[in-house]
Amino acid sequence: MNDSVKITILAHNKAEKNLDPEHGFSAWIEASGICILFDTGQGTALAGNTLNHVMAITGETKIWTVTGGFHLTDASHSRMEETLNQLRKISPDIIAPCHCTGEKALELIREEFNPGFMPCHAGTVISLPRTGEPGQA
């Protein structure tokens, strides 16, 4: 078993070429066969930069679980649709939106991704397998 841990920074308030900076922080963490997307960002980079970039750098074609603050509370309908379109492309088995997502966006995400929709708040536990099998909440 490989005990190394690899952390790739995906979103930050400073970004490399071809990536949008964001007020927040996202990282892809790989450890002992488990991959974790950790995000405190504001949504636009999560759906765009973060998920697309992590798939490009890791070669992964499937992301099982997406969680984060989508910051759609006061977003226009077109911005909500843009975020949903990005998430549809990824098609996660579990989607757990949290802070600042907003009730309207939560309902749209619930309708689109049910039964994989999982409200996320302090105390939520998401269990992920060690293999490529889908995660279970």
**What CATH number does the domain containing 45 carry?**
3.60.15.10
10: containing domain:
5-113
Q: By the 8 A CB rule, do 92 and 116 touch?
A: yes
Is residue 134, in this structure, part of any structural domain at all? no
Q: Is residue 70 part of a domain?
A: yes
Alpha-carbon distance 35 to 4, whole Å? 12
Inside any domain, residue 129: no
Q: In what order do the strands lie in the sheet with 26-31?
A: 5-11, 26-31, 34-39
In a domain, 26, yes or no: yes
Q: If DSSP codes are grouped into helix, strand and coil, which group holds residue 36?
A: strand
pLDDT at 109: 94
pLDDT in tens, 15-69: 667 666 666 667 777 776 666 666 666 555 566 666 777 777 777 777 777 877 8
Residue 50 lies in a domain: yes
- pLDDT score of 105: 93
Question: What residue has token string 């309708």?
Answer: 111
pLDDT tens digits for range 85-108: 888 888 888 888 888 889 999 999
Please name the helix (run of DSSP H) or strand (run of DSSP E) that holds residue 38, with its range, or none. Answer: strand 34-39
Number of structural domains in the chain: 1
